[in-house]
Copies of this chain bind each other. A is one copy, B any other.
């Protein structure tokens, strides 16, 4: 840090198992990826190449290399997994992970409907090849699960081999654990946390109010995802209570 402020919450250090910041790259150029790393690399734990952007982004090889050189694990968004599965190309997907030497894969069913046992089979198979992050929750605004359902799905996916669970919000932050308005479904989150260890969940939280909410509930070292590349520094200040939204919370500690 650049100077000393007393009484700030302690932050987990890399390699972090809690307090993870997962960032979404929606199509940065190589130089933009370098800019991002310069300023936010030290606070970033995972880089997701959002949905199918890796298919159309030029210089994909080089970009992945830039992230690897900076010690930042990269993975493809879950929607890409679904694109392959929906076309019966799961084996191609496994080869793709090999081709780019990726060490993490996301398994999700936000856009396709598959029996949960089948999803768990994918998790299980992929967990033999890479570290698996699996996402729970639909991207469909009309599909709302009861809390017990979230817990059942999450437990089964951990058992099947997931390293971490991602609680869906989309890039827009208005489905899954959020209401259409972007507000957190607080009762749902509370109930999930009675059964699933907090350090197993990465909460997608693209908006500042959502990030602040989770930091106040779970602490500076809550794991958050779908963070915009330009929001990593602002998020770090929220975690430390040096931005207005969490200022009081950490003063009272």
Contact = CB atoms under 8 A, between A and B. Distances in A.
Contact of A56 (B31, B208, B236): B236
Nearest to A80: B242
B92 A4 contact: yes
Given A28-B39, A38-B29, A87-B7, A79 B247 contact: yes
Interface stretch (A57-65, A151-159, A187-195, A196-204): A57-65
A251 B35 CA distance: 37
The 3 A-B residue pairs with the shortest CB-CB distance, nearest first, are A52-B242, A27-B233, A29-B35
Contact of A244 (B39, B110, B240): B110
A103 interface: no
A244 B27 contact: no
A84 B241 CA distance: 12
Given A27-B39, A80-B242, A6 B87 contact: yes
A13 interface: no
A17 interface: no
A43 B56 contact: yes
Given A51-B243, A56-B237, A237-B56, A251 B42 contact: no
A27 B51 contact: no
A40 interface: yes
A128 interface: no
B36 A83 contact: no
A234 to B, nearest CB: 6
A173 to B, nearest CB: 13
A27 B40 CA distance: 9
A247 B26 CA distance: 17
A55 B27 CA distance: 28
B39 A57 contact: yes
Contact of A89 (B1, B5, B30, B43): B5
